[in-house]
Amino acid sequence: MAATPYRRNYKTLLAFAIIYFVWGSTYLAIRIGVHEVPPFLLAAMRFTIAGLVLYFWAWMRGERSPSAREWFSASLLAILIFVIDYGLVFWSEQRVPSGLAAVIMSINAVFMALAEIAILRSQKLTVRLGIALMLGVAGVAMLVSHTLHLGGEPIDTMGAIALLIASLSWSVSSSVTRKLPLPSSKTMSSGVQMLTGGLMLFVIAAALREFRGFHPAQVSRAAWIALLYLIVAGSIVAFTAYVWLIHREAPTKVGTYAYVNPVVAVLLGYFFAGEPLGLRTVLGSVFVLVSVVVITTTPARNPAASLTVDELETTSD
C-alpha cells in the first residue's frame, strides 16, 4: 500500500528534525565525553563501533564488500575526515565551548566557496560572495580576538586553530571525494570510512599514550551515555535519516542543516552546559552563519562542476 501524503510529510519532518537537532546536539555530547575520556580514544570508540554497525548492516542487505581500490580510497578519506577533521574537533572541545566549536566548523562553507572559485571554477567571485566571505572571516576573528572589547573571554587560540584545520580538511575531502572510486552504496561507503578512521584513531590514541591514564571504571555514567548517543543517534540514526532525505528532497534543502546545527549547538551549550552567550558569542556566530547562508544559497556558475550535498556526504558531527 502506498504511503499517504500525511505519512510521507510526517517522515520528512521527522528526518529533518533528526539531522537538525541530533547533529546539532553531538557537539555537546562530545564536550561531555572529552571531559573524562581522552579525545582521540573517544573518537576511535565512536567511529569504530558505528562503522562496524553500518558495514555489517549494508553487507547483510546484500551490498558487496569494497574492492581493494575502494578500501584505499576510503582510507584516504578516513584520514581527512575522521582522523584530522573529527580527531581535531574532539581534541579542541577540551578547550572550546561546544556551541562555538559548531559555529567555527560551519566555516567550511567558506573554504568550499574558495575551492569552487579558485580550483573547480564553478563559482565566480561576485560582490555578494566577497561580502559573505569577509563576514565569515570577521565572525571567526570576533570569536578569537584578544583586542576587541566585546565582553566575555575569547576562544582558546589553539582550539580555534585546530577547528579551522579540521574544517579545511573536511573541505579538501569534499573536493576529492568525486575523484575517488568508492562503493556505490552510501551506507557501505560511510561504514568503511568510519571503520578505517576509527582504527586509525586507536593507533593515534596509543601513540599519544591516551590508554595509559584511561580507566573505564572511573568514567561516569554521563560520559558513557554521551558516547552511546554519539554512536547510535549521531552516527547511525542521523546518518540513516540523512541518506533517506537526500534521495527525496533537493540537496540545497537538505543542506540547511549546515546552518541550523550551530544554532542548536549554541543554545544547548548555553542552557545545559552553562556556556557563555555574551555579545562576542552572538555577534561572531551571527556573522559566520549569515556568511554560510549566503554562500550556500548562491547558485553556481557551472552547476555540473559544483559540489552537491549528495557528493559531499559522509556524515556530520
Helix (H), strand (E), coil (C) string for 243-287: HHHHCCCCHHHHCCHHHHHHHHHHHHHHHHHCCCCCHHHHHHHHH
pLDDT tier for residue 3 given thresholds of 50, 70 and 90: low
Residue 32 lies in a domain: no
Asked, for residue 284, whether it belongs to a domain, the answer is yes
Range scoring the smallest mean pLDDT among 191-205, 222-236, 301-315: 301-315
- For residue 285, tell me if it sits in a domain: yes
Of all residues in the chain, the percent with pLDDT exceeding 70 is 91
Residue from 23, 51, 52, 9 nearest 234 by CA: 23
For residue 70, give the 3-state DSSP assignment: helix
With respect to residue 25, please indicate whether it lies within any of the assigned structural domains. Answer: no
Q: How far apart are CA 119 and CA 313, in angstroms?
A: 20
Mind listing the pLDDT tens digit for each residue in 161-182?
999 999 999 888 877 887 899 9
What are the backbone dihedrals phi and psi of residue 19, each rounded to the nearest 5 degrees, phi first? Answer: -70, -30
Looking at residue 80, what DSSP letter applies?
I
Give me 193's grid cell: 570510512
Whole-angstrom distance, CA of residue 144 vs CA of residue 164: 12
Q: Note whether residue 202 is domain-resident.
A: yes
In sequence order, which residues have a C-beta less than 8 Å from that of residue 71 and are 6 or more positions away?
192, 196
Residue 311 binned pLDDT confidence (cut-offs 50, 70, 90): very low
pLDDT tens digits along 138-155? 999 899 887 777 767 788
Label residue 300 exposed, middle or buried (CB < 10 Å: 0-12, 13-18, 19+): middle
Q: Would you say residue 5 lies in a domain?
A: no
Query: Does the residue 68 lie in any domain?
Result: yes
E strands, the chain, in order: none
Report how many domains make up the chain.
1
262 falls within a domain: yes
Domain that holds residue 234: 38-312
**pTM for the model:** 0.89
Per-residue pLDDT of 252-274, as tens digits, reads 688 788 889 999 999 999 999 99
